[in-house]
Amino acid sequence: TELQRIIQGIPKTELHLHLEGSFEPELMFEIANRNNITLPYDSIESVKEAYKFNNLQEFLDIYYAGAQVLLHEQDFFDLTWAYLTKVHSENVKHVEGFFDPQTHTERGVAFDVVISGIHRALEKGKKELNISYKLIMSYLRHLSEEDAFKTLEESLPFKDIIDGVGLDSSEIGNPPSKFAKVFKASAAQGYKLVAHAGEEGPADYIWEALDILNVERIDHGNRCLTDEALIKRLVDDKIALTLCPTSNVALKVIQKMEEHPVAKMLDKGIVATIHSDDPAYFGGYMNENYYQTAKALNLSLVQIEQLAINGFEASWLSAASKEKHI
């Protein structure tokens, strides 16, 4: 359609992408085979059949299971490279991607193996696809703060290639305040800070991410609209929200796309942006997220372009690079 053509043409930035969430079933089977691992599925169709979720936790259980087949540097390279070639075809110019070290180190895969494969692909993408990047390591919030500290420690030899830390996994019952000390220590190491908040959890968790963790962006943040003072804070301080519309529908954060809060957020002056979260699981990369949202909410061309501009504004690109893209 014309709308799809317009969206394809807009240069975009991806600020909310879990690399493990870009693991397409086809590649999962290929890597499982070469690593002699048997998946609990007998076909790609039966994998896709299993991707029906009622909430975040049901998704996470399947997402962590899928990541178990990743063992070698080449596996992490292939995962990352497949993602980059996909979004290159969608006119994505810059990626700030998450990886979850603990998902791998917990099962005996060395931090070095994980980050080397990811980094090699990101560098290749920069040279061959002209996609610039930043890398964010996420602490798993269902694990202890002590475990996150161990991960921080393990990351230090790779400080030059990690730009920031994030916080993801099961939100409810694991508030940002649980990670106050490790975020402080991460900032002291020079890492930038973001956190998932207000996806399933309440507006209070967004306040905690801002006031206790001192993050500069909020991943998701859907639930902010229940709190006028919080809206004012986000607007005044230009705190970006990295929204993920197809994820929100797939995980039943909203019941249907027509209910997505992004249009209201733009109206209120919040720096809202659109991203894909875990595209292999939710059935949409960047353009599909833009398209479904624009269609369901009847967004104007100005609003669609604003979302893309906000993405660059909220990125960690230099002022000069931002200017080049906007």
Residue showing the smallest CB distance to Zn ion in the complex: 277
- Residue written as token pair 């369901």: 296
Residue 154 interacts with, from Zn ion, ligand ADE, none (CB under 5-8 Å by kind): none
Is 277 annotated as contributing to ligand binding? Answer: yes
Is 325 annotated as contributing to ligand binding? Answer: no
Q: Tell me how far, at minimum, the Cβ of 153 lies from ligand ADE, in Å.
A: 22
Structure tokens at 266: 């733009």
Longest dimension (CA), the chain: 54
Between residues 168 and 208, which has the closer beta carbon with respect to ligand ADE? 168
Is 18 annotated as contributing to ligand binding? Answer: yes
| Residue 199 a catalytic site member | yes
Is 88 annotated as contributing to ligand binding? Answer: no
Between residues 208 and 277, which has the closer beta carbon with respect to Zn ion? 277
Neighbours of 52 (CB within 10 A): 10
Closest CA to 260 of 307, 205, 316, 194: 307
- The number of C-alpha atoms within 13 Å of 13 and in the hemisphere containing its C-beta is 27
37 in helix, strand or coil? coil
How far is residue 175 from each of residues 96, 140, 143, 219, measured CA to CA in Å?
23, 12, 12, 14
Residues that bind ligand ADE (CB under 6 A): 18, 21, 56, 63, 168-169, 196, 199, 247, 277-278
Contact 198, 220 (CB under 8 A): yes
By CB under 5 A, residue 100 contacts Zn ion: no
Between residues 193 and 317, which has the closer beta carbon with respect to ligand ADE? 193
Q: Tell me how far, at minimum, the Cβ of 319 lies from Zn ion, in Å.
A: 27
Q: Given 199, 200, 208, 288, which residue is catalytic? A: 199
Is 220 annotated as contributing to ligand binding? Answer: no
**Which of these segments, 109-117, 127-135, 255-263, 270-278, binds Zn ion (CB under 5 A)?**
270-278
Q: Tell me how far, at minimum, the Cβ of 191 lies from ligand ADE, in Å.
A: 19
- The number of C-alpha atoms within 13 Å of 247 and in the hemisphere containing its C-beta is 27
Exactly one of 73, 208, 277, 288 binds Zn ion (CB under 5 A); that residue is 277
CA distance from start to end of the chain: 24
| Distance between CA atoms of residues 189 and 8, nearest Å | 38
CA 64 to chain centre: 15
Q: Tell me how far, at minimum, the Cβ of 321 lies from ligand ADE, in Å.
A: 27
Q: Tell me how far, at minimum, the Cβ of 300 lies from ligand ADE, in Å.
A: 28
Residue 21 interacts with, from ligand ADE, Zn ion, none (CB under 5-8 Å by kind): ligand ADE
DSSP, residue by residue, 65-112:
HHHTT--SHHHHHHHHHHHHHHHHTTTEEEEEEEE-HHHHHTTT--HH
Residues of this chain that interact with Zn ion (CB under 5 A) are 277
Binding-site annotation: residue ranges for substrate: 278
Q: Which residues are catalytic?
A: 199
